[in-house]
Amino acid sequence: MVRATRITAVVIIPVLLAAFVILFGFPDRTPELWAWTIRPDMTAVTIGAGYLGGAWFFFRVARNRDPGRVVGGLVAASAFTALLGLATLVHWDRFNHDHVSFWAWLGLYVVSPVLLPFLAVGNRRQAGPVGDERLPGWARGALAVVGATQLVAAACWTVAPSLAMDVWPWELTALTARTLAAFVAFTGLFLLWPLVDPRRQAVQIGLEAVTVGLVATAIGSFRGRDDFTGPAAATIAYAASLASVLVLLVAVQWPRRPARAAARA
């Protein structure tokens, strides 16, 4: 199962990197380069940043030999791909069916919602010890609160995208609202994973991926700042949420001092 997971990761990485380059590097050219036209540019940049985080996750998966370290991320990715597959069906008419990017998109979000849960279950069954160090209680609690909040928000935006469209700091459509909800659901599910497996090594790869994606999102926010045309309160809330989650992730992953670790041992 580890070998099958690594092969899957190797196949997926170039797709995610290509998506990142197109959306983050050329957000104004989605009509000719992407599966559907995305406006404004800030939406494309944000989705591209999420794909960079996904590429980092699968890069780490491709180098990993311990099944217990990838289960949480595979579970989150399973939900992510299922939500995007659903969004594709609901908004079928919004896609450019004549473009190769659409068929790559369709293939990815038809196969992945079936394949990734299979890999997650298989790796879970084969998982052995991945280290005894547990995340501290404060970290598990804080991650769980943020993760649960994001998961509830993602569910609401998927069912009723207007809830996101009304409060987002830049303009969204129903399709882009549901697409962003899928990325939020990935983050939320993974941040809840320490409640299932609190061992640090079992969550490290996913924490890294979420951090990479959010850092890229923060950088993209400066690039697309002209698109922030929504209420000032929405922009402030967005920036505060992004910054606070990044601070939390850095704090959780910050290396413990040897002396303190030895004292606690």
Structure-token match 């919602």, residue found: 113
Write down the pLDDT at residue 257.
58
Q: For the segment 200-249, what is each residue's pLDDT rounded down to a tens digit?
A: 888 999 999 999 999 999 999 998 889 999 889 999 999 999 999 999 99
Q: Note whether 23 and 34 are within 8 A (CB).
A: yes
The answer to the question of residue 172 being in a domain is: yes
Average pLDDT over every residue of 152-166: 96
Domain total of the chain: 1
79: in domain: yes
Q: Containing domain of residue 47, as a range?
A: 2-255
Average pLDDT rounded to a whole number, residues 74-91: 96
Residue 265 lies in a domain: no
261 falls within a domain: no
- The predicted pLDDT at position 1 comes to 65
Residue 261 has pLDDT above 60, yes or no: no
Rounded Cα gap, residues 130 and 133, in angstroms: 9
Q: pLDDT band at 264, cuts 50/70/90? A: very low
> Is position 263 within any domain?
no
